[in-house]
């Protein structure tokens, strides 16, 4: 991605910091770090960081990382604004910032560990602040939309191709592995998340973990899967019937789920509240007496992460705006039968919406 895009994003963040009267922001969340800099989309694990970025409201921005990423940092960032820290990370970062005149900054308390907060506090005043970068990431630019469309297109292809492998005798684990291989064979960098494959009653588990359960003729199979392509994720759910003739119950429940999905999509446009998007699906189910079997939110944002703002749910706040990409994934679940979920990704446009 062109470095100008990252510079533009940091410029937008600087304006947001000025509006909040924050002199700087510590960016420690991996997706936010990448969004603003192009540096390292992933951290190794929850207690291991690939680095930090500090964006100032009216001055240079700084990159901090360890010796593993020295070469990667050099390719992206001015040397005078980069610190390669060692085992005394907090002291070295704190003294570097003080030397640059940064004595106060915001941090995200949902992702910054107590260990890091305590380590930096002696050197810089820290103010908790949430969703500053996420507030920018909600609105996808043209390049992001292009990349996400490609990721969604690949997901559509895999969903079409996997249906022929849903045959009696195949296990949930085997299907999940085949999906991953198909994504990789078609250019995906990695899975967006571990695929959900639920056969029969297991389809009532919203986040079913693929196991040894075997597909039988006359089973339903719920698959929720996605990939990362060109750094951006896709997320789709489909529910399939194995056999020649779907049961009456399967056809009726699928009709309800797809009807609720369409009811929500029909009203998705700028200015509509995110709560009302959820309520459209809920009301559709409620009129048919099955709303109690819809037990999760209607959708969430997708992008550099599979789940990111905004969200459509009972407690959602805010309104739909152009550039948002939101899943619409109603489902109905019975623990003695199974469940059906159907998911699209929807882009809010200037005058309505478009299903990707």
Question: What's the predicted TM-score (pTM) here?
Answer: 0.93
> What pLDDT sits at residue 40?
94
Residue-wise pLDDT tens digits, 158-213 = 999 999 999 999 999 999 999 999 999 999 999 999 999 999 999 999 999 999 99
> What pLDDT sits at residue 163?
95
Rounded CA separation 168/171 (Å): 9
> What pLDDT sits at residue 141?
95
Is residue 238 pLDDT above 80, yes or no? yes
| pLDDT category of residue 220 using cuts at 50, 70 and 90 | very high
Q: Across the strands, what pairs with 240?
A: 221
Residue-wise pLDDT tens digits, 64-76 = 999 999 999 999 9
> What pLDDT sits at residue 250?
98
Cβ-contact 224, 341 below 8 angstroms: yes
> What pLDDT sits at residue 44?
79
> What pLDDT sits at residue 135?
95
> What pLDDT sits at residue 69?
95
Residue-wise pLDDT tens digits, 321-348 = 999 999 999 999 999 999 999 999 999 9
Q: Is 76 exposed, middle or buried (0-12, 13-18, 19+ CB in 10 A)?
A: middle
> What pLDDT sits at residue 43?
85
φ, ψ of residue 31 to 5 degrees: the values are -65, -40
Residue-wise pLDDT tens digits, 126-152 = 999 999 999 999 999 999 999 999 999
**251: Cβ contacts below 8 Å, ≥ 6 apart:** none
Mean pLDDT (the chain) is 96
Residue-wise pLDDT tens digits, 19-67 = 999 999 999 999 999 999 999 999 877 778 999 999 999 999 999 999 9
> What pLDDT sits at residue 46?
73
DSSP of 131-194? SHHHHHHTS--HHHHHHHHHHHHHHHHHHHHHGGG--TT-BHHHHHHHHHHHHHHTT-SEESSP
Rounded CA separation 72/77 (Å): 9
> What pLDDT sits at residue 344?
98
> What pLDDT sits at residue 218?
96
Domains and CATH numbers, the chain: 3-137 (3.40.350.10), 142-355 (3.90.230.10)
For residue 153, which of 75, 96, 83, 234 has the smallest C-alpha distance? 234
> What pLDDT sits at residue 3?
86
Residue 207: DSSP 8-state:
T
Residue-wise pLDDT tens digits, 65-112 = 999 999 999 999 999 999 999 989 999 999 999 999 999 999 999 999
């Amino acid at each position: 991605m062109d470095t100008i895009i990252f510079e533009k994003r940091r410029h937008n963040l600087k304006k947001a910091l000025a509006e909040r009267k924050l002199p700087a922001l510590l960016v420690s969340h991996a997706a936010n770090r990448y969004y603003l800099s192009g540096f390292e989309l992933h951290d190794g694990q929850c207690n291991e960081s690939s680095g930090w970025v500090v964006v100032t409201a009216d001055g240079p921005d700084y990159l901090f990382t360890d010796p593993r990423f020295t070469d990667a940092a050099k390719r992206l960032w001015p040397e005078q604004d980069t610190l390669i820290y060692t085992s005394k990370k907090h002291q070295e970062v704190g003294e570097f910032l003080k030397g640059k005149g940064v004595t106060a900054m915001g941090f995200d308390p949902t992702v910054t560990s107590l260990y890091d907060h305590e380590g930096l506090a002696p050197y810089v005043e820290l103010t908790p602040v949430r969703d500053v970068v996420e507030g920018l990431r909600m609105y996808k630019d043209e390049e992001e939309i292009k990349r996400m469309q490609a990721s969604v297109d690949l997901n559509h292809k895999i969903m079409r191709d996997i249906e022929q492998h849903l045959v009696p005798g195949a296990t949930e684990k085997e299907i999940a592995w085949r999906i991953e291989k198909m994504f990789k064979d078609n250019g995906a960098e990695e899975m967006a998340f571990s695929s959900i494959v639920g056969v029969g009653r297991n389809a009532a588990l919203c986040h079913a973990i693929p196991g040894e359960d075997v597909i039988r003729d006359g089973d339903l199979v719920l698959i929720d899967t996605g990939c990362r392509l060109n750094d951006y994720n896709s997320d789709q759910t489909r529910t399939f019937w194995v056999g020649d003739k779907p049961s009456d119950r399967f056809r009726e429940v699928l009709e309800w789920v797809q009807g609720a999905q369409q009811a929500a999509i029909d009203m998705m446009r700028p200015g509509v509240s995110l709560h009302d998007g959820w309520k459209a699906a809920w009301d559709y189910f409620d009129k048919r007496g099955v709303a109690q079997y819809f037990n999760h939110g209607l959708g969430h944002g997708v992008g550099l992460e599979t789940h990111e703002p905004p969200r459509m749910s009972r407690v959602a706040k805010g309104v739909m705006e152009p550039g948002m990409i939101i899943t619409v994934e109603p489902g109905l679940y019975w623990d003695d039968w199974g469940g059906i979920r159907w998911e699209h990704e929807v882009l809010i446009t200037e005058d309505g919406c478009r299903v990707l």
